[in-house]
């Protein structure tokens, strides 16, 4: 069956299912993040707070909390139950094109929050948030601590990022590089894959490897 989810103004840039498969999260150029029922197409929640178009989203655990990143240079954590912003996880001063969250390797120091996290934060402990930034930087931030964990300089704007495991991550750039990094030591990439100069637009772990889409 088909459902038309209507309510965004301007372009819808990203959407994904919650783990239940019954709820959808979407982000648009109208700077709004919306949660929809896939069963009856109703918009359950609208989050407002970003000052620019939303470029990517991520879901924490089962989805009591969700994340978004925007052209306004911020990544934000939202509480679905109260439809409120729980905090700005990062403010980069440069558009954040892609985000991903994953459980961090135990040996990684994720930093300590400056103040105790809200009890509305569910499942942020021990997680790291990756930020694929327009200013050629890939950043890791402790999701609960909001503290920077690493900053890696790439060859061009980063468009997308993903976790292969708790230690290995991938990120793709506008000039066609795919960086594989170890979060415990991001000084030198494990490998840099360059098939063509076309922008790397999305990355998805698949079995023992990954799938990449490029703009060619």
Q: What is the pLDDT of residue 3?
A: 87
Cα separation, 167 vs 127, whole angstroms: 12
| Mean pLDDT for the stretch of residues 178-185 | 97
What is the rounded distance in angstroms from the CA atom of residue 83 to the CA atom of residue 20? 19
Is 1's pLDDT higher than 80?
no
| Residues 99, 75 contacting (CB under 8 angstroms) | yes
Spatial distance between the Cα atoms of 169 and 184, rounded to a whole number of angstroms: 11
The chain-wide mean pLDDT, for the chain, equals: 96
User: CATH number of the domain at 51-214, out of 2.40.50.140, 1.10.10.10, 2.130.10.10, 3.40.50.720?
Assistant: 2.130.10.10
Whether 48 and 31 have beta carbons less than 8 Å apart is answered as: yes
pLDDT tens readout for residues 139-148: 999 999 999 9
pTM recorded for the entire structure: 0.96
């Amino acid at each position: 069956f088909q459902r038309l989810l209507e309510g965004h103004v301007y372009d819808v840039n990203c959407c994904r299912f919650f783990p239940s498969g019954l709820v959808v999260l979407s982000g648009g150029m109208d700077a709004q993040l919306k949660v929809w029922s896939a069963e009856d197409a109703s918009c359950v929640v609208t989050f407002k707070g970003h000052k620019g178009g939303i470029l990517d989203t991520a879901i924490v655990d089962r989805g009591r909390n969700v994340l978004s990143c925007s052209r306004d240079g911020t990544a934000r954590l939202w509480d679905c139950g109260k439809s409120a912003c729980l905090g700005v996880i990062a403010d980069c001063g440069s558009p954040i094109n892609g985000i991903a969250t994953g459980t961090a390797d135990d040996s990684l120091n994720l930093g300590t929050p400056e103040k105790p996290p809200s009890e509305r934060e569910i499942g942020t402990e021990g997680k790291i948030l990756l930020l694929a930034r327009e200013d050629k930087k890939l950043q890791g931030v402790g999701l609960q601590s909001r503290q920077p964990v690493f900053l890696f300089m790439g060859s061009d704007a980063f468009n997308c990022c993903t976790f292969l495991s708790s230690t290995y991550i991938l990120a793709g750039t506008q000039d066609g590089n795919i960086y594989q990094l170890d979060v415990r030591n991001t000084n030198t990439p494990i490998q840099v894959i360059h098939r063509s100069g076309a922008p790397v637009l999305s990355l998805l772990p698949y079995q023992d490897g990954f799938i990449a889409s490029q703009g060619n």
